[in-house]
Structure 1
Amino acid sequence: MEIVYWSIISILFIIGFVGLVYPIIPSVLFLLAGYILYGVFFSFEHFSLFFWLIQSFFIILLFVADYIANMIGVQKYGGSKAGVWGSTIGLLVGPFIIPFLGILIGPFIGAVAAELLVNKRDFKNSLKIGFGSVIGFISSVITKAVIQTLMIVYFLLVVF
């Protein structure tokens, strides 16, 4: 039965990583569900207050990394808050319109559209800002993947 339990926990962790490229999937909730199921299946005894404080710190880092990477990516290429918002909206809508590629095209189009419509930028600068939004997204995914990996490694160190 232990194999089944670990398989379920592993699947939840994998879904958490899928959430890195499909932001509609709440990655953090799947990681937390894996921890809670471990407690239900095995024992909560390993999860001290310190464990939850460290995991909470990582969760805060995930949200901060996501916001900052997107903001820096757009602003480094001359974008404004409108570009950041457009990129974020494109990130959420893109995968529904164009599965898989929408995750990259959505933020790009969102940032370009926002800069063109809100800030009346020329097309060339708007394209550059859209490129920055894609760079920001990719940076965010890499950073969050590292943080989520650290969360799971810490979990495994605690339970073994």
Structure 2
Amino acid sequence: MMVVGVAGVVLPVLPGLPLTFAGMVLAAWAGGFEQVGWVSLSLLGLLTLLSVVVDFLSTALGAKRVGASRLAIFGSVIGTFAGLFFLPLGLFVGPFAGALAGELLHGRKVGMATKVGLATWVGLVAGMVLKVGLAFAMLGLFFVAWFY
């Protein structure tokens, strides 16, 4: 579960770090909570909650910062899922194209729509980078608790 969860950090279809956390709880339970106790699991749970907040806010804040419409945000979500069919390039092009299309449907000019698309993409990438950092922090904390 942990490996699939870590893959979910960059694949938006999977609930990355929550799935990783579930795997960690399962491993702690399998070990009788002897190696990994409630303090470690509580910290891991807080990091998981932080990852969920980062996930929701990163793209939205990037888009809202430049005045994106709801259609652009909706388009970026649709573009992200559509991009999964064109891995790995689709993960980067999909959100941009979706936000761009949403802004164009909203009636914005191409220049503004492109700016919104780029801001949405930057927010998505920044969120991904933060989630990768959180994933490594969680894995490190879990393995330190397990082995020491």
Tell whether 2:87 aligns with 1:99. yes
Structure 1 stretches of 5 or more lacking a match? 1-11
Pairwise mapping of residues 61-76 of structure 1 onto structure 2 (< 5 A)? 61-76=50-65
Question: What TM-score results when the alignment is normalised by the length of structure 1?
Answer: 0.81
Q: Which SS does the other structure have where 2:68 is aligned?
A: coil
Question: What TM-score results when the alignment is normalised by the length of structure 2?
Answer: 0.86
Tell whether 2:135 aligns with 1:148. yes
Percent sequence identity over aligned pairs: 27
Q: Cα deviations across residues 50-77 of structure 1 (Å, max 9, x unaligned)?
A: 2232122111111110111101211223
Structure 2 stretches of 5 or more lacking a match? none
Q: Which amino acid counterpart does residue 37 of structure 1 have in structure 2? A: A
Tell whether 2:119 aligns with 1:132. yes
Q: Larger deviation: 99-108 or 30-39?
A: 30-39
The answer to whether the 8 Å contact 2:28/2:34 transfers is no
Aligned length: 146
Distance 1:55 1:152 in 2: 9
Tell whether 2:62 aligns with 1:111. no
Q: Which SS does the other structure have where 2:8 is aligned?
A: helix
Taking CA–CA contacts closer than 8 Å with sequence separation of 6 or more, which of the two structures ends up with the larger relative contact order?
2
1:36 alignment counterpart:
26
Distance 1:82 1:55 in 2: 35
Distance 1:17 1:29 in 2: 8
